[in-house]
Structure 1
Amino acid sequence: METHEKIELGILAIILLIFIESGILMITEGWDFFIAFYTSVVTISTVGYGDYVPKTFIGKLSVIIYIFVGVGTVAYTLGNVAGFLIEGHFRKYFRLRKMEDKIKKLNNHYIICGYGRLGKIVAEEFKKSKIPFVIIDSDEKVLEEALEKDPNLICIVGDATSDDVLKKARIEKARGLITVVTSDAENVFITLSAKKLNPNIYVVAKADKPSTLDKLIKAGADRAVCPYIVGGMEIARIAINPDIVEFIHSLIAVEEDIEVRRYVIKNKELDNKLLKDSGIREKSGATILAIKKGNKMITSPPSDIVINVGDVIYAFGTREQLEKLKKYVEGL
């Protein structure tokens, strides 16, 4: 039985006891209802003014039984009330302190603004990829339910449009921000605030209306996505080329641990080297799908292509292979 249910049961039992004792005193002592009720309340509260006392044997016996049962019931109820208040307060306090300690350690992380349907999917993908992230949502109940399922989540209750809340999420140290709150206007505002606080942060923003996409880009979003457009395009692809789409999905399925990622070459040792001499394949096992040099995209790059620091590469492989590739091309 939950604590609040015990409290409700205790209060009901106290009220019932008071009315039963009031009825007994009215019958045995001949008192009116108010006097009997008053005496019952004074007795169960252990105040005991003594201005009204039973004279009959039955009345006195009922009071003796009433004191033992009533005082015990009151003590039981008050104990549950105190436990409920103390437990709830301190649990919330210690959870908050623990959360603040986790947030202070965050670095090169992502901020997810909005923990609705899309926000939950993004968080799950980040967890699978072991990418650190913090969630911001204004609905405390939603975050409490999420923490009950996964105590390791890092959450902040607040309005993501507020600079103070974004600073609390250490936006100045963040690698990226995903804003998927319900309102397009708020997504635009969050994007503006994020870019103001950290001009280098990578922002991906959701738009419910296609007309908002351009506004998000102008606000500073690096990528703006309309789920309805993306979903519609995916449905069309499946309908037109079901076998090809199924094949692609099977390659990048979660069970297979296969992904496509984008990296910028920062390792100076790779500058001006031929792709075949770079050692990328040997050291990581990943496959290079494309190389972007400036505004030129080279798909299926030949082995004799020269790579340079600043080139963007798109690679295909397992998470382990891609992690090795990241460390190698970024010189970590």
Structure 2
Amino acid sequence: MKSTARIKQVLVLLVGVIAIGSIGYQLIEKWTLFDSLFMTVTAISSVGFEEVHPLSRAGRWFTIALIVTGRGSLVYGIGALTAFWVEGDLVNLWEKRRMERQIAALRDHIVVCGGGETGRHVARELLRTRRPFICIEIDSTKEEAIRKLGEGMLYIIGDATTSDVLHRARVEVAHGLVACMPSDKDNLFALMSAHELNPTMRIVTRAVAHDAGPKLLKAGAGAVVSMATIGALRLASAMVRPNVVDLLDAMLREPGATRVQEVTVGPAVVGQALSELKLQERTGVIVFALREGATQRHVFNPSQERVLQAGDVLMGCADTEQHAALQRIVTEG
């Protein structure tokens, strides 16, 4: 039986014993409700007060039965409360230690600064795509909402703008950081602290104010996302390209992890034509776009005869397994 159900059972049992005792004294001894209640509580709690009124023989037998059942119920209740406290404490301690061990083993992960509504949406997408990550949230009242995001959620309740908390999140060996706190100032401090600890990591930050973007980029952000701008573009797209928007929404909502993925061309395939890799035959992925490493220019629907160069980035729709296979091919050949 769960501890919470046991506590409810104890409360019902104690209330029932007190009610039966009070009614019993009223029927047997013809006492008032208050005197009957007082005598019942005195008998159960064993405080040692004298009888309210002299007891009849039947009243004494009833008192003996009340003491036995009442004190038994009281002892059971104390045991249940103790178990509830100890079990809850032990479970929380075990979960905390387990999470600390998992955090200590993190490497090449993503640090999500902010566990509010935006941060939880980021976390859900990372969970769906099976990316290792940890969430940092300063408000302890949001802890339960963060835990409910998924099994094995890793998080820290602390201030993401401080180096100490970022160090606990292993920013030094992280792949990237997402700053999505509700304040531009907090996001700025977080990315500056993170950039100092890990200058090579990719940092993506949320911008609240319309003029915050340039400052965040100057401070070290690799990309700045304006919620107002993205929302406006989404509204326009939903009007003029409804089917495309529905497709992208379905891609994000469906249980699978099929996403528009990207892979960077490695030295092993530099100089080869796209057709030589046989990506569609080997992985089922069609490359629909390419970003040139030298010019950063995007090429849509690249020709199969396109010769790959160092730093080129290939893009296509793939699930987690297809993405891993694609990465392996463009890295190892």
TM-score, with normalisation over the residues of structure 2?
Answer: 0.79
1:164 Cα shift?
A: 2.4
Aligned to 1:192: 192
Aligned residues: 325
Q: Are 1:73 and 2:73 matched, yes or no?
A: yes
Distance 1:91 1:49 in 2: 41
Q: Which amino acid aligns with 1:308?
A: Q
Q: Which amino acid aligns with 2:268?
A: E
1:321 Cα shift?
A: 3.0
CA contact (8 A) 1:192 1:219 kept: yes
Aligned to 2:329: 328
CA contact (8 A) 1:264 1:329 kept: yes
Distance 2:170 2:90 in 1: 25
Aligned pair in 2 of structure 1 residues 214, 11: CA closer, same or farther (>3 Å)? farther
Distance 1:193 1:158 in 2: 14
Aligned pair in 2 of structure 1 residues 148, 18: CA closer, same or farther (>3 Å)? farther
1:97 Cα shift?
A: 1.4
Distance 1:51 1:307 in 2: 97
CA contact (8 A) 1:138 1:158 kept: yes
Distance 2:291 2:30 in 1: 96
Matches within 5 A, 1:281-300: 281-286=280-285, 287-300=287-300
Aligned pair in 2 of structure 1 residues 77, 131: CA closer, same or farther (>3 Å)? same
CA contact (8 A) 2:269 2:331 kept: no
CA contact (8 A) 1:114 1:135 kept: yes
**SS of aligned partner of 1:127:** helix
CA contact (8 A) 2:10 2:73 kept: no
Aligned to 2:308: 307
1:15 Cα shift?
A: 7.1
1:130 Cα shift?
A: 1.6
TM-score, with normalisation over the residues of structure 1?
Answer: 0.79
Matches within 5 A, 1:226-305: 226-243=226-243, 245-246=245-246, 254=254, 258-265=258-265, 267-286=266-285, 287-300=287-300, 301-305=302-306
- Superposition RMSD on alpha carbons, in Å? 3.8
Aligned pair in 2 of structure 1 residues 219, 15: CA closer, same or farther (>3 Å)? farther
Q: Which amino acid aligns with 1:306?
A: V
Distance 2:70 2:253 in 1: 64
1:114-146 superposed Cα distances (whole Å, 9 cap, x missing partner): 233222222222222121122222344533354
1:226-248 superposed Cα distances (whole Å, 9 cap, x missing partner): 22210111111222343554566
1:215-269 superposed Cα distances (whole Å, 9 cap, x missing partner): 222222211112221011111122234355456667887478643223322x322
CA contact (8 A) 2:291 2:298 kept: yes
Distance 1:144 1:247 in 2: 32
Identity across the alignment (%): 26
Distance 1:153 1:315 in 2: 29
Which of 147-156 and 5-14 deviates more?
5-14
Question: Which runs of no fewer than 5 residues in structure 1 stay unpaired?
Answer: none
Distance 1:163 1:27 in 2: 73
Aligned pair in 2 of structure 1 residues 256, 67: CA closer, same or farther (>3 Å)? closer
Aligned pair in 2 of structure 1 residues 246, 150: CA closer, same or farther (>3 Å)? closer
Aligned pair in 2 of structure 1 residues 148, 276: CA closer, same or farther (>3 Å)? closer
Aligned to 2:82: 82
Q: Which amino acid aligns with 2:143?
A: L
Q: Which amino acid aligns with 1:161?
A: T
Q: Which amino acid aligns with 1:116?
A: G
Distance 1:324 1:49 in 2: 80
Q: Which amino acid aligns with 1:187?
A: N
1:278 Cα shift?
A: 4.7
**SS of aligned partner of 1:94:** helix
CA contact (8 A) 1:14 1:70 kept: yes
CA contact (8 A) 2:261 2:318 kept: no
Matches within 5 A, 1:105-254: 105-147=105-147, 150-243=150-243, 245-246=245-246, 254=254
Question: Which runs of no fewer than 5 residues in structure 2 stay unpaired?
Answer: none
Q: Which amino acid aligns with 2:269?
A: L
CA contact (8 A) 1:6 1:80 kept: no
CA contact (8 A) 2:18 2:41 kept: no
1:293-317 superposed Cα distances (whole Å, 9 cap, x missing partner): 33341413344443233x1313113
1:3-25 superposed Cα distances (whole Å, 9 cap, x missing partner): 5544655665687689889999x
Aligned to 1:98: 98
1:22-59 superposed Cα distances (whole Å, 9 cap, x missing partner): 999x988xxxx8xx96x876653446598999676466
CA contact (8 A) 1:289 1:315 kept: yes
Aligned pair in 2 of structure 1 residues 42, 165: CA closer, same or farther (>3 Å)? same
**SS of aligned partner of 1:112:** strand
Distance 1:273 1:70 in 2: 85
